[in-house]
Every structure is written in structure tokens, then in C-alpha cells.
Structure 1
């Protein structure tokens, strides 16, 4: 403000209405904690849209119980169509509506716990930075090891980081309604998202289309890790095992090329994509020489060099 005073964000954001998209599948063990943490948000102008992908436990009955109790929770009809993937489920939610009555769209996982100020912090950060997209750091909790770890994903952007990684865990993402419409338009024609990463694709589409992204250095999510996580965090043992298996299978290189095709980064990073496609030893060394442009974190940049050399398949 011109007089140097601190804006009253509480009043400023009273009319900001957020659509929260929650994709579920056999999540009843932890789902209620997540629902309660959403209900407890300090920013109260939200509506939760939940789509289940064919759960065989009591997830759906739990969702219906909450939807019947709270007017701002809607269980989206899946019409018996199951995508078989978290990414597919999320994109079904994105394509479900134009969300024109909402100013922002937030993503939620079924097994996390949000801090009460999660949505408020996102709105504040986006407003201060004039951003169309947002992500934050998070606290990972390994259910097996009984260990919590702070995950820093807020390092400054690199020129081509969006080709090699998402902004953070998708459960931290908040985007504007206009950006959601862009994501919807860019992804409607995709046949299958099985084995793909929705958060990585969303971030890449935003960066390719010059959407300003806010990286919040604070953590507002308790990010639960357990044996049934799709990918898991690097700080969790099972997550690490899953990631090694994925890397050895060639998943990472395959997803780089898939995301590049779907997001348009094959044009914005054309020379890099050519090197990844050819994947010869000379190409790998050229990629190594530019690896500092590809990952935001220093440790991640070092890890990427190893992956390029030995696990690019």
C-alpha cells in the first residue's frame, strides 16, 4: 500500500472463493483427518469437489456422510468410469466444470493434513507476487519410520526446471480460475494419464505459457508417506524404493518426453528435448554440462547427473 501500512488480508480475501479438488481411491484410513483439516480452514470461502476412482473400501460412504452434513462438499458422479490413476482422477476433476464462480482452484490428496492457514497463506503469497500458480514446502511424515522431514521445494526457478520436475507436491498447488481454464484446454484431448504426474504437467504448462509461479518457503501440509503412496517423498524409505524402481524402469525419461509433448516444452526447450530423445553418450554429456539449468535444488541437480548417466532409458 502507498502509505506503507500492512494490507488487511482477511478483508481483502473474503470474496476469494476456492474450489478444492480431491481425488480419492481406497483412502478411508486417513481420509477423515484430511476432510476435517479442510473444514477447519481459516479461509472459509471454499467448496470441496471429490471424485472417487472406484474404491472398494468405505471411502465413498465416508464421503457421502460428509457431503450430507456439509453443504460445501460435493461428491462428483464418476458414472462408473475409473481412470486407474491419481493423475487421471485429478484431470477428470479439472475437466468436470469451468469453475467460473471460483477465483482459485486448489488440489488435495486424500491422506494429508492441512494446517488451518493453508488456503489463506496461498492467497496471500499469490497476491503479493502477482502469481497465477502457487506451491509450498511441506513436512513429510513416514508412517513406517515414524519420522518427520521438512521438504524444501522453494528454491529459485531455473530456466528449464519445468522440463525435469514439478514445482512441489501437487497437494500444495493453488491456481487461479484463468489458469485452470488454460490447463483444461491443454489437456482435454489427452486419452490417458496412467503412470503420469498431474502436478508436473500442470507446472510445465504454466511455465511454457508464462504464468508467474509463486514458490512459498513455508510448509502448510503434513504430507503423509506410507506403503500405498503413488510415488512417495525422497525422505521416506518406501518412497525412495518406489522412485528407484521407477527410474530403473525408464519412467523418468519417458515422462520428460510425455510432459514435453503435452505441455509444449518440446518447443520452448527444443535443443534439450532433442538430446533427451537421442540419448546417446555425447548427448548425455551435453546434458550434464547444462544440468544446473534443470533442477532447482543443488542436491537434486547432483542426483540428476547420476540419473542422466546411468538411469536414462
Structure 2
């Protein structure tokens, strides 16, 4: 596909995001890549979010639409956009209301996606630059160096939703899981694309300024206190619950998983039902791995304690 002809649908879920929304909308207008169309699903905002969006899409240089969201949470809001048949494009980009994009975000994604086979699911994602509420840089998200794969996706999500751009085939896979509710839409998309024989591009160059503030629905999981809290929750049963949900989601597309992914999922699913020695052997058979040392250690403790 010629990169100058590929249309991109920007999928923005909003709710009471007036504080930072204008900066994100401005970053859309500064994109070096066109054409794109903005689709916003608003979940009943009571601040000036809707007014800001209406003013933005009223501009003569902006192609945009404002929709009423389901008002049942962030994930459902994004999934409502995925399931909306009126939204059609070559590629789709998730967007969060409180971030800002680099001017070349869509350009970088489309350049890679244009090289992929459209019959295969394809997903572009990137590292992020972390900023505070005041917009000042405070660090980076982790730099993942191991290849994206289904074995990795069973354990963690390296594809942050606010960086994702994906093709029609990937969108179709994500739409097929409904009405089952995923743990979170972006992790599920990473699992589906890798599990169904697709391609994932993790760009080490940040394309999003990822804002960290008190009202984040999902924030940076690498903060020390958040890591400790996540470790506690995971060993308290959250990891097992999330894995149950992920298996239910993947079962919706069992016929589309590759043979290797089916074998990996079967071994991973059997870990919980066996003794410790068998669990360790199944861990090896499943091919699961974490991108980071601490995550690998945590995974081993889940398996030793039968909390997976």
C-alpha cells in the first residue's frame, strides 16, 4: 500500500480530560502524516472535554467525529470504537487524552505497516517518554530488547496502547473477542497478533509523551512503589485471575491461533494443575519469558507458589 494513500483512524477514548486534552489534540494536528480521521468516544464527561473536542473537529483542516461512549470503563470505551462498523480505515491508532504525540508518530508507524502483508495482523508500538503533569520529562518507559512473541505476550504487555497503530486484520481479531471483556484491550491485542501469526514492531524510539499524574487510569508500572504493589496483588491472586481472563479471550479465537501458539497456551494453562516439578517443566515447554530480570524472578515465584 502506498503510504500517501493509507488512511489512519485515530481512536481516542475521553472522559473528563479537559486539563491536558488540548495538548493532545494539538499534537494530532502537527502530525507529519496525512490523511487521518479522528474518532472520539466520550464517556459522559462533565467538564469542558466535549466542548474542546467539538471546537477541534469544527476546524476546517480537521476530519473528526464525536460519539457517545458506553460509560462502563476505559477498556469498554476503546472496545466500542473497535466494534463500530462506521469506522473504517487502513490503519488504526489508539490515543489517550492526557498524552501528546511526537510529530512523526503516524509517519513512523505507517512506514512500517506499509511493508507488511495486509492479510496478516500487524501491530506497531514504541517506547514512550515519560512526562509529569507539568509536561517536563521525567524518564522513559523500559527499553525492551527481546523479540516480541506470543510467549512473551502471555506474561506481559510490551505494546503500550497509547503507542499502538495496527492494520485492519488486527482490528478484526480484536473485534472477535466481544462480548468477552479483556483485562485490558492493548495487552489482548498484543496476544492476538502474536498468537495468530502476525507481526509486531517494537520501535525503541519514543513516539508518545506519556503523562504521569494522579488521575492516570493506567500509569507507568516501573515506578518502585507501583512495582511493589503489583507484586503484592499478583501473588494475592491477581495474576491468576488475569490469566483466566486471557485464556477465555484467546479461546474465542482458538481456530485462528497458530499450532505453536496453541501448544504454548496449552502448556501455560496446565502449569496450575501440576506439582512443582511438572510446573517448572511446563514453564519451559510453554516458551514464556519476561523482558526484564525482576519480571522473570516474579514469574518464577508465581510458578513455585502455584499463583500463575
Q: Which interval holds the TM-score relative to the shorter structure?
A: 0.7 to 0.9
Contact 2:37 2:64 in 1 (8 A): yes
Please report how far the alpha carbon of residue 50 of structure 1 lies from its aligned counterpart in structure 2 after TM superposition.
0.6
Corresponding residue to 1:272 among 264, 268, 271? 268
Please report how far the alpha carbon of residue 56 of structure 1 lies from its aligned counterpart in structure 2 after TM superposition.
2.7
Partner of 2:10: 20
Q: Distance in 2 between matches of 1:239 and 1:35?
A: 29
Please report how far the alpha carbon of residue 179 of structure 1 lies from its aligned counterpart in structure 2 after TM superposition.
2.1
Partner of 1:61: 51
TM-score, with length taken from structure 1:
0.82
Relative to structure 1, the CA distance from residue 159 to residue 17 in structure 2 (aligned partners, 3 Å threshold; closer, same or farther) is closer
Q: Which moved more, 1:262-271 or 1:163-172?
A: 262-271
Please report how far the alpha carbon of residue 141 of structure 1 lies from its aligned counterpart in structure 2 after TM superposition.
2.5
Q: Distance in 2 between matches of 1:134 and 1:153?
A: 14
Corresponding residue to 1:82 among 58, 71, 95? 71
Partner of 1:305: 300
Corresponding residue to 1:243 among 230, 254, 259? 230
Structure 1 regions of 5+ residues with no counterpart? 1-8
Contact 2:267 2:285 in 1 (8 A): no
Partner of 1:254: 241
Aligned length: 294
Query: SS state of the match for residue 23, structure 1?
Result: strand
Q: Distance in 2 between matches of 1:178 and 1:91?
A: 15
Partner of 1:48: 38
Structure 2 regions of 5+ residues with no counterpart? 255-260
Say what the alpha-carbon RMSD is for the aligned residues: 2.9
Are 2:11 and 1:30 aligned? no
Please report how far the alpha carbon of residue 280 of structure 1 lies from its aligned counterpart in structure 2 after TM superposition.
5.8
Contact 2:159 2:190 in 1 (8 A): no
Please report how far the alpha carbon of residue 22 of structure 1 lies from its aligned counterpart in structure 2 after TM superposition.
0.6
Are 2:177 and 1:187 aligned? yes
Are 2:142 and 1:151 aligned? yes
